[in-house]
Amino acid sequence: MKKLALLVFVLLFLVACTKHARLYPVNDLASTTGVLKAKYSESGTGYGEITIVMPDGETLSGEYTTGRAINLNFGNILSNVYGTEGGAFGTGTETVLRLQATNPGIATLYGDRGTMMQCEYFVGNRAGKGRGACKKNDGSLYRLEF
């Protein structure tokens, strides 16, 4: 009986830890896919797995990492989507100053048919909600919201 109760608890925990995100097309290359839906695991460690099934059936899978430090190259994809002046995000130190109460993160996904996607995002302090940007290796740009 204890094993069954433990199994039920683990299954409920795993189901509760699966979250969803949406990727909204920004440029013409991305508009052919429409809005993409991502599933990711939430473990509370700032690290997890993420999966996106493309409209053509290709599955992109990879990992994300959320931290507290930011490297100098962070923000390139964000600036492609949001711009460098007056947008929701800036680049370099401008981003750190505007988003002091957030944690930056990156995600990298690879598809089973050769597609690669990189994402940059910020997670706020409110219920793990965040925004960011993603770029596929064909130049498609997406606004990320979760």
Chain centre to alpha carbon of residue 40: 8
Nearest to 82 by CA among 72, 67, 94: 94
Residue 71, phi then psi, degrees to nearest 5: -90, 170
Q: Give 12-68 pLDDT, tens digit per residue.
A: 444 448 999 999 999 999 999 999 999 999 887 889 999 999 999 999 999 999 987
- To the question of domain 18-145 being in CATH 2.40.128.120, the answer is yes
How many other CB atoms sit within 10 Å of the CB of residue 92? 15
Cut 0.85: pTM above it: no
Give Cα separations from 59 to 71, 78, 85 (angstroms). 29, 23, 35
